[in-house]
Each structure stands twice: as C-alpha cells, then as structure tokens.
Amino acid sequence: MNKNSLDKTNQYQQQTVMTPSKNGWDYFLLGWSLAFRPTLRHFVFLPMLANIVIMSALFYWFFSSISHLVDFGLLFVPSWLHWVGHVITFLIILTLAILFCYFFSVVTNIIAAPFNGLLAEQVEAQLTGIPAPDSSWLSLIKDLPRIFYRELQKLLNYLLWATPLLLTYFIPLIGQTVTPIIWFLFTAWWVNIQYADYAFDNHKIAFHNMKRLLQQDRVDNLIFGSLVSLFTMLPLLNLIIMPIAVCGSTAMWVDRYRKQALLANII
C-alpha cells in the first residue's frame, strides 16, 4: 500500500474511534440529515429532480393504462357483482402498483446513476474530510459507458434471482403466503445493493467484492433496504427517497467498508 493510502487509512482510523456504532435504522435517519445539508443541496437536487420527473411520467402512464384495463375487465362482470369486481380491482391495482414501484425505481436509478455517483462522492468527502476528486462534466460523460455497464450488471444479476422467485407466485398456497415475505426481503436486499453500489463504484470496487463486504452486515443492510423499500411504495415520499438512500448508504460505506477496502488494498 502506498504512503497516500496509509495516510488516508490512519486518518480514517482516528475518525472511526470516535464514531459510535450505528444500525440500519440509524443510517436511514442519517441519510435524511445529510440530504438536507446546505453544502450538499445542489448535488441532491439533480437526482431528486430526475426521480420526480421520471417517476411521475411512469406512474401517469401506469394509471392511465390500468384504468382502461379495469374498464374492459368490468364489462365481463354482471352488474349485480360490480362491487366484488371493484374490490378485486383494488387488490390487483395495489399489488401491481407495489411491483411497478420497484420496477420504476430500477429504471430511475439507471438513468440517474451518474448524478447519484456524484452525490455519493460529495457525501464521502464531507464525512471523511478528504476532498472529492475534481469531476468535470467532460470526465463524467467519458465515464458514462462504465457507469451504465455497472447498472446493467446489477440489473442482470437482479433478474437472475427475481425471475424464478416471481414464478413461485403461481404455486398454490406457497405463492400466496411464503413468496410475498421472501420477495420483500429479497427486494430489500437488492435495494440496499443498488444504493450502496454508488460509493463502491466510485472507487472501482468489483461488484462481487462489494456483495462480499455487504454480506458481513446482512441484518443492518436488510433493515436499511427494508426502510427504503417501504418509502419507495409511499406516494410523494417515493419521489424524494433516492438521494436520501444514497446519502445513508454512503455513510455506511464510510463507517464500515471504506477502511476494510483500504486495508485490503482494493481501492
């Protein structure tokens, strides 16, 4: 390890001694605090704006499309059973809305990945006291292919596990009882990976190394991912949760994984 890396490690070790232990809930709350710092406001604004615009457009499309399908489906229901049809329709729309929230979140994260990376970089700089590298718009544009390749890698890895899990919804009894619980935990884990990855990727840490480090704190990462997942399903709050999640997961990177990565000489 070179002298510069050793100096950074010593500085971080001194800071870590004074840092109380935090859990997933603490990092989620810390994300809210960091996201509204005046010094980070303009870095938070870009991913938040991208999230609001894209999510609003996708939800408008979703509810416009689903309303036509509902009207078409009710044509086949007798008039005296319309109240049952409306109850079933509500449950179907609620289920689809939850599923589409996660899907829309994935799409939005891919598009907003460059802005989220910049935000994670600035959060880390403030928490460590080490200045962030100068990033011009030109260097960001040059880095876009690598950023989007990383997002594609995460998406393919997600689909590899999500597809067989979704198929279990068609298994009688299990699909209606066990699968929803497993699906929520699975989604929480992958939501955590999605937001944690920005800090890891800023340091060019391989995807498999990132997953290995995150698995050391499965419970806290699941708690953090579960909280973000819940807010992703809440109207209005799901429009602002992205930069908050980036800030919280970056704080966890600084406290728990940055030191390990330095000592292992992988950054």
* Residue pLDDT tens, the chain, 267 long: 444 444 443 444 444 434 458 899 999 999 999 999 998 888 888 777 877 887 778 777 777 776 666 666 666 656 665 566 566 666 666 666 666 666 767 777 788 888 899 999 999 999 998 888 766 666 777 788 888 889 888 988 888 998 898 888 788 878 778 888 888 899 899 999 999 999 999 998 999 999 999 999 999 999 999 999 888 878 778 778 989 999 999 999 999 999 888 777 676
- Contact (Cβ atoms closer than 8 angstroms) between residue 200 and residue 225: no
DSSP tally for the chain: helices H, then strands E: 10, 0
pLDDT of res. 99: 64
CA 22 to chain centre: 19
Residue 81 has what DSSP assignment?
G
User: Which amino acid makes up residue 121?
Assistant: E
Q: What is the pTM of this model?
A: 0.77
- Contact (Cβ atoms closer than 8 angstroms) between residue 218 and residue 225: no
Whole-number Cα distances in Å, 237 to 17, 133, 173, 245: 35, 31, 33, 12
Say how many C-beta atoms besides its own lie within 10 A of residue 160's C-beta. 9
Residue 256 has what DSSP assignment?
I
pLDDT of res. 233: 78
